[in-house]
């Protein structure tokens, strides 16, 4: 992870840069969800050398257009970046699709995430998010 919070997927000279709302591919193409001016509706996939990279828009989170990244390398467990789907603070009003998006993201996690802690941390966040959404938080 870079000091600015972006995550780089590197294989030799090939570099993909992930941020919670956009990805820059090794050829300089920017991938973003259509709600943020991009052309991606739900999924984008590509390769960075031997790494297979999948970007998904699982539903809007706190701001909308949040992207989840899964990186699979031969012989390694998938690495997952949840970006802005998991936040430090939960607002008083939770957007309708946010809990479902986090629930779907939990299914992608095999171990620790690249940016949001462990699967248990994300499950705890999801429960707190649901509490606010249902008016119990």
Residue 1 domain-assigned?
Answer: no
What are φ and ψ of residue 28, in 5° steps? 90, 0
Domain encompassing residue 53: 7-133
Residue 66 domain-assigned?
Answer: yes
pLDDT at position 106 is 96
What's the domain count of the chain?
1
Q: To 10 degrees, the CA torsion angle through 69, 98, 110, 76? A: 0
CA 50, 42, 36, 80 dihedral sign is negative
pLDDT at position 23 is 98
C-alpha neighbours within 13 Å on the C-beta side of residue 53: 27
Task: Give the distance, in angstroms, between the CA of residue 106 and the centroid of all CA atoms in the same chain.
Answer: 11
**Contacts of 72 by beta carbon, 8 Å cutoff, 6+ apart:** 51, 52, 53, 54, 78, 79
pLDDT at position 17 is 98
Residue 82 domain-assigned?
Answer: yes
Match 């990279």 to its residue by tokens.
Answer: 53
Residue 2 domain-assigned?
Answer: no
pLDDT at position 135 is 85
pLDDT at position 111 is 81
pLDDT at position 137 is 60
Residue 86 domain-assigned?
Answer: yes
Q: What is the pTM of this model?
A: 0.94
pLDDT in tens, the chain (137 residues): 888 889 999 999 999 999 999 999 999 999 999 999 999 999 999 999 999 999 999 999 999 999 999 999 999 989 999 999 999 999 998 999 999 999 999 999 988 899 999 999 999 999 999 999 988 76
């Amino acid at each position: 992870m870079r000091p600015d919070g972006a995550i780089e997927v590197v294989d030799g000279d090939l570099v993909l840069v992930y941020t919670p709302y956009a990805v820059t591919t090794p050829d300089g193409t920017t991938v973003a969800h259509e709600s943020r001016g991009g052309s991606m509706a739900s999924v984008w996939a590509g390769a960075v050398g031997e790494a297979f990279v999948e970007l998904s828009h699982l539903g809007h989170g706190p701001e909308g257009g949040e992207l989840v990244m899964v990186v699979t390398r031969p012989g390694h467990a998938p690495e997952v970046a949840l970006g802005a789907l998991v936040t430090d603070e939960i607002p008083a009003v939770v957007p309708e699709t946010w809990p479902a998006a986090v629930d779907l993201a939990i299914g992608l996690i095999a171990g620790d995430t690249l940016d949001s802690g462990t699967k248990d941390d994300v499950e705890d966040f999801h429960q707190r998010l649901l509490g606010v959404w249902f008016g119990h938080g």
